[in-house]
């Protein structure tokens, strides 16, 4: 009886050993890393793939822990991953890195299964299977790198576009300002800020045409600084320029924005007063004449006597042209100068 039981046990042990060898051969043939650890997380099995990957001696690893087999930093990372898998008490997945015997870096997706097979339901071991995801990881990193580069390119392009648009806006504004400046220089006397001869005639012709079409009126004043050549010769052109600017300021301050006033040349100024009869024009001329001769109003050299002569004329429907009215104003101006200067004389066509 005892002999029979012994033979049965021996037979069962042989069968179990055979099944274990079959299971081991199966695990050894798996092309992915496989390992098994006991309840103390000591190695009890590793297939050839993982032993070669970690460069572990196949005859000297059973019963050892990671810190006895692997480099310190890598060993600590593996043990921490094992502890987390045990704490979850279920299948866990993690991503780990390892360098092969050629020092090439590999990425692995590792599945770890804690076992609780002892009679008391306590932790009894850990089984792990890894899958080489290096190609997938590299493809993913390449895609992320491509997306990152594309994003950087798009951001750079957007920044470049924004910069170019801003530069275009600035250049456009600069050109517009230059155009306005050029237009201003084409129509403005730079010394006095009044309209130049070209602009004055252009605008006055428009006033004349409007007056003929609507049967309204306007008056023209011709102004000339008395003895201006003497002022220039005695005190210099810089002082002469100040005198011209002083007269221009008086004209601008006295007249309305709708009136046309310009420097025709040298010390000659001409004014076209819109919707103004000759009596009112004479009053305005006398007002300006008084301001000019008032030495206290001149901010420059106080010892320079400044006066001006004025000739005034008025439009009427029988006038041939604007030039006719301006000629009458010039004739009146000439009379003012030849009869003592510093006065206003008017002439009606």
Q: Is residue 23 part of a domain?
A: no
Strand order in the sheet with 34-38: 43-46, 34-38, 125-132, 105-115, 92-99
> Above 60 in pLDDT, residue 233?
yes
Mean pLDDT of the chain: 88
Q: Is residue 224 part of a domain?
A: yes
CA 47 to chain centre: 61
pLDDT of residue 111: 92
pTM given for the model: 0.53
pLDDT of residue 307: 94
Mean pLDDT across the stretch 298-311? 79
For residues 89 and 164, membership in a common domain is answered with no
Q: List, as one string, the DSSP characters of 206-251.
A: HHHHHHHHHT--EEEEEEEETTHHHHHHHH-HHHHHHHHHHHHHHH
pLDDT band at residue 170, thresholds of 50, 70 and 90? very high
Mean pLDDT across the stretch 213-218? 90
CATH number at residue 297: 3.30.70.270
* Residue ending a domain, choose from 122, 156, 187: 187
For residues 227 and 283, membership in a common domain is answered with yes
Q: Is residue 148 part of a domain?
A: yes
Per-residue pLDDT of 289-299, as tens digits, reads 999 988 656 66
Q: Which residues contact 318 (CB under 8 A, 6 or more apart)?
A: 349
Q: By mean pLDDT, which of 37-46, 153-162, 182-191 is the weakest?
A: 182-191
Q: Is residue 87 part of a domain?
A: yes
Per-residue pLDDT of 20-46, as tens digits, reads 778 788 888 888 999 999 989 999 999
For residues 61 and 112, membership in a common domain is answered with yes
Q: Is residue 325 part of a domain?
A: yes
For residues 100 and 56, membership in a common domain is answered with yes
For residues 143 and 127, membership in a common domain is answered with no
Mean pLDDT across the stretch 200-221? 94
Q: Is residue 3 part of a domain?
A: no
pLDDT band at residue 147, thresholds of 50, 70 and 90? very high
pLDDT of residue 4: 56
Domain coverage including residue 316: 197-348
CATH number at residue 40: 3.30.450.20
């Amino acid at each position: 009886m005892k002999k029979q039981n012994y033979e049965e046990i021996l037979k069962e042990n042989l069968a179990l050993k055979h099944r274990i060898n079959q299971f081991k051969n199966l695990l050894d043939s798996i092309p992915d890393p496989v390992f098994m650890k006991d309840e103390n997380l000591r190695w009890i099995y590793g297939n050839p793939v993982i032993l070669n990957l970690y460069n572990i001696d196949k005859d000297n690893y059973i019963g050892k822990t990671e810190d006895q087999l692997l480099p310190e930093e890598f060993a600590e990372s593996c043990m921490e991953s094992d502890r987390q898998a045990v704490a979850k008490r279920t299948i866990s997945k993690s991503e780990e890195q390892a360098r092969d015997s050629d020092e090439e870096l590999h990425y692995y997706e590792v599945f770890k299964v804690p076992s609780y097979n002892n009679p008391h339901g306590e932790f009894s071991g850990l089984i792990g299977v890894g899958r080489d995801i290096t190609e997938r990881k590299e493809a993913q990193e390449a895609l992320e790198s491509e997306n990152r580069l594309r994003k950087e390119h798009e951001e750079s392009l957007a920044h470049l576009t924004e910069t170019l648009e801003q530069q275009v806006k600035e250049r456009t504004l600069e050109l517009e300002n230059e155009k306005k400046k050029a237009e201003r220089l084409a129509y403005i006397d730079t010394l006095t800020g009044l309209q130049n001869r070209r602009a004055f005639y252009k605008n006055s012709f428009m006033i004349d045409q409007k007056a003929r079409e609507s049967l309204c009126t306007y008056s023209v004043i011709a102004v000339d600084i008395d003895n201006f050549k003497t002022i220039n010769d005695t005190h210099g052109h810089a002082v002469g320029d100040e005198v011209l600017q002083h007269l221009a300021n008086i004209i601008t301050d006295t007249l309305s924005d709708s009136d046309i006033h310009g420097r025709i040349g040298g010390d000659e100024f001409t004014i076209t007063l819109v919707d103004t009869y000759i009596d009112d024009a004479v009053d305005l001329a006398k007002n300006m004449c008084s301001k000019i001769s008032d030495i206290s109003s001149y901010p420059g050299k106080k010892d320079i006597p400044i006066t001006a002569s004025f000739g005034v004329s008025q439009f009427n429907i029988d006038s041939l042209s604007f030039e006719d009215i301006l000629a009458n104003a010039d004739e009146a101006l000439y009379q003012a100068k030849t009869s003592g200067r510093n006065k206003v004389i008017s002439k009606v066509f």
